[in-house]
Amino acid sequence: MKRFSQFGARFFLVMAAVLLIVMAGCSKREKYPLGEAGGTLTIGSLNEPLSLNPLLLSFTAPSDIQEKLFLSLHRFDKSMNIVPELAESWKFSEDFREVTYHLRQDVKWSDGQQVTAEDVKYTFDLMTDPKVNYSRAGYLQFVEKVEVIGTYTVRFKFNRLYSDELFDTGIIVLPKHSLETQASLASGEFDANPVTDGPYKVEQWIRGDRLVLAANPEFYKGKPALEQIVIRFFGDEAALAAALQNGEVDMTEDLSPQTILKLQGDPNLVTIDYPGRSYTYLGWNLKSPMFASAEMRKAFAMAIDPSEMIQNVLLGKGQAASGPILPSSWAYDENLKPMPYDPEMVKTALSDLGWKTMNRDGFLAKNPRQVLQINLLLAQGQPVLEASAAIIQKQLKAVGVKVNIQSADARTFIQKIRTGAYDVMMFSWKNDQKVDPTAVWHTRIESKGKFNLLDYSNPQVDSLIEQGLGTLSRRKAKDIWVRFQQVVFQEQPTTYLFVPNAVAMVYKGVKGAESDARGPLASLDEWWIPSAERRGAQIASVTPPAPETPSSVAAPAPETKTPAPVNNKPVPATAKPAAETPKPVASKPTPKAVNPQDILVAETPTPAPTPTPAVAAPEPVAEIPPTDPEPTNIGKAEYPDLARKAGITGRVFVKVMVGPDGKVKSAEVLRGIGGGCDEAALEASKKSNFKPGTVNGQPAERPFTIPYSFR
């Protein structure tokens, strides 16, 4: 069996008449590790899901529960290889434009119906439907369509050749027969009676209190060891910590570093660290005269010491970050280190820029009225960021810079960034394992750079992103992504601070819980508890129960997301009749802050994939993937006096065709602003020089887009 890594990075194009890459199915023999059956595991959580339907979750919302209810076509193992799950095998076409999945024939939905290829296609169609607004629809932008070939065979077709084809097609699959009969995804009907095919199924959901999962005896790998998993929802961290200590909860990953430190002396609890999935950074306003220079941005970066935040805010539960790719990723540049902390060098740099006099308050000034100060913007409701901002304020004061901390609600925060109403902003951005920085780092043009909040533009970065995505060899792709990280680091449009660890506290009697690159709950269905160490199902509510009526069913607990198009009206969300289950009277938790990243994803629709024209001839299969031109000299455009006087500003995008000799053969304006700027950019582009792009390893004619700024 030939396994593929998480990024489809073990694609190899070899010289042969026909090339088939097949995942042979050993999954039929796959069984759970031996473990004593029975018992209940209780998980404590501060984040109740908005829905059990994974298509309705925000980008940053945890999906661990849903992944135990529904199978994906394939999954990651502990070594981060892609291995079979719902699909027992798959193969690529010779030109890598198609991948065909063969599904297991021994998987049934919880209502007894068979899982088929129709379910796969139906789920894909929902994911790419703009009305659904699936938060990860962007991962499918290069999938042209999905075809049902047979009852258990489905084919994905791509509109371009790229390295993450296998990563993108491993979608979670939902039941067509159940969803298509409902009024809408937002109706709540699915949550009231979810039809699932995973190792666990829903036994009961009392909103605001608990979600009970029962082991699926019909699961293809066999019945999981744990008979029952109970997820209890808490309104605050103190209550969750108390429940963990007194044995009502066996595991949680929702405690702050400060609370974890207090509980680490408990002999019944074990602390497990997992790789973090988000990084915190400072984004400099590139439109501000103060931060237009890379040297100035570097100077400020050298005045900031992230290690103090890691030690004092994260309490050591994290690591320094130096670039936009997570340290846990295969594409991470291990040799790239954060900017050195050097306050004296910062003072010298600021002095060279004219900031030489220190006023009586300890801040640098050019004159009594012109103090060196900046506004640091962050979103409300993020304690880690707030504490880190206070440290940055102190560190910059040490070099004579006054920092004014400004906080705003998530929506206002995003609005201020988009309008440039800040000097530097602090953001925590979640990344998946997929390596694709297009949305954040590519120049904002057409469908690219949609989350490029800083309006950063560098043709070299754009080219490296395109090359990295189109390179099928992981070794070659790693070299490209290293160069990408180094260019971003040298320009320092953002200063990366830290990557917090994901930390779980687990009852010592739980077996199978260990550090895992996939996350704290990835192997949950393989855990077990010896009968001698079981503490029983501690699912009773803290307050006395009261009879439940339809009007008293709580709405979903607020989730850290921008609401997807889901009707949040109260609906009974339990697999059993409401009359059978008393519901406790629980105090209403304080609404959690909305994550700014979710606002961005929800408000930025992903364009539908562009089908390949039927009349177009198929692109020849290259033995070596094509590469784009790399600029060695970009012609400088003069700002026309007419445009300057008229106050015409903006960007002109020029598409050039670069010949095999690296010279521009033709040029056209893709998007202009008038006032003579279009003509100036066009003429300048013709003076540019490039390292030519290649086809089959040989220099060839290739396009390249150059953005010209006029301000």
* DSSP helix/strand/coil, 486: helix
* Residue 555 DSSP class: P
Specify which residues 373 forms β-bridges with: 402
Tokens of 499: 């990557």
pLDDT of 709 reads: 84
pLDDT at 540 over 70: no
Measured between its terminal Cα atoms, the distance across the chain in Å is 57
Q: Mean pLDDT across the chain, nearest whole number? A: 83
φ, ψ for residue 160 (rounded to 5)?
Answer: -160, 160
In angstroms, the CA 496 to CA 281 distance is 4
* Residue 638 DSSP class: P
pLDDT of 612 reads: 41
Q: Residue 637 to residues 258, 287, 704: CA-CA distances in angstroms?
A: 54, 19, 17
pLDDT band, residue 301 (cuts 50/70/90): very high
pLDDT at 547 over 50: no
pLDDT of 642 reads: 77
* Residue 427 DSSP class: E
pLDDT of 566 reads: 34
pLDDT of 625 reads: 64
**42-59 average pLDDT score:** 92
**What is the pTM (predicted TM-score) of this model?**
0.74
pLDDT at 556 over 60: no
pLDDT tens figures, 356-382: 888 888 899 887 778 899 999 999 989
In angstroms, the CA 561 to CA 593 distance is 8
**445-463 average pLDDT score:** 91
pLDDT of 350 reads: 87
User: Residue 654's closest CA among 711, 710, 703?
Assistant: 703
Is the model more confident about 628 or about 586? 628
pLDDT at 616 over 60: no
pLDDT at 83 over 90: no
- Cβ density class 433-463: b for 16+ within 10 Å, e for less: bebbbbbbbbbbbebbbbbbbbbbbbbebbb
In angstroms, the CA 137 to CA 703 distance is 27
Q: Residue 54 to residues 60, 67, 134, 283: CA-CA distances in angstroms?
A: 12, 8, 9, 31
**78-102 average pLDDT score:** 89
Torsion, CA 66, CA 70, CA 74, CA 79, rounded to 10:
40
Whats the size of the chain, residue-wise? 711
Sign of CA dihedral 482, 502, 38, 65: negative
Q: Residue 459 to residues 178, 439, 619: CA-CA distances in angstroms?
A: 48, 15, 26
Q: Which domains does the chain have, with CATH numbers?
A: 34-55+185-275+502-594 (3.40.190.10), 278-500 (3.10.105.10), 630-710 (3.30.2420.10)
CB 169 within 8 A of CB 143: yes
CB 655 within 8 A of CB 686: no
In angstroms, the CA 590 to CA 207 distance is 15
pLDDT at 27 over 60: no
pLDDT tens figures, 207-266: 999 999 999 999 999 999 999 999 999 999 999 999 999 999 999 999 999 999 999 999
Q: Residue 584 to residues 67, 244, 275, 690: CA-CA distances in angstroms?
A: 28, 20, 36, 69
pLDDT at 147 over 80: yes
pLDDT of 288 reads: 92
pLDDT band, residue 591 (cuts 50/70/90): low
Q: Residue 76 to residues 119, 328, 511, 528: CA-CA distances in angstroms?
A: 21, 14, 21, 21
pLDDT at 352 over 90: no
**33-59 average pLDDT score:** 91
Torsion, CA 43, CA 47, CA 51, CA 53, rounded to 10:
-70
CB 275 within 8 A of CB 80: no
pLDDT of 214 reads: 97
Torsion, CA 523, CA 499, CA 54, CA 80, rounded to 10:
-40
In angstroms, the CA 301 to CA 338 distance is 9
pLDDT at 68 over 80: yes
**104-120 average pLDDT score:** 96
In angstroms, the CA 4 to CA 472 distance is 12
Question: Residue 305, exposed/middle/buried by CB under 10 A (0-12, 13-18, 19+)?
Answer: buried
pLDDT tens figures, 636-645: 999 998 778 7
List of residues 6+ apart from 107 with CB closer than 8 A:
71, 86, 114, 115, 197, 220
pLDDT of 80 reads: 82
Task: Name the strand (E) or helix (H) holding 384.
Answer: helix 383-397
In angstroms, the CA 423 to CA 103 distance is 53
pLDDT tens figures, 316-329: 999 999 999 999 89
In angstroms, the CA 589 to CA 567 distance is 20
pLDDT band, residue 3 (cuts 50/70/90): very low
Is the model more confident about 356 or about 116? 116
3-class secondary structure per residue, 216-261: CCCCCCCCCCCCEEEEEECCCHHHHHHHHHCCCCCEECCCCHHHHH
In angstroms, the CA 656 to CA 124 distance is 36
**164-168 average pLDDT score:** 88
φ, ψ for residue 82 (rounded to 5)?
Answer: -85, 125
Q: Residue 148 to residues 116, 155, 179, 274: CA-CA distances in angstroms?
A: 9, 6, 18, 39
In angstroms, the CA 649 to CA 575 distance is 59
Is the model more confident about 279 or about 673? 279
In angstroms, the CA 302 to CA 74 distance is 44
pLDDT of 441 reads: 94
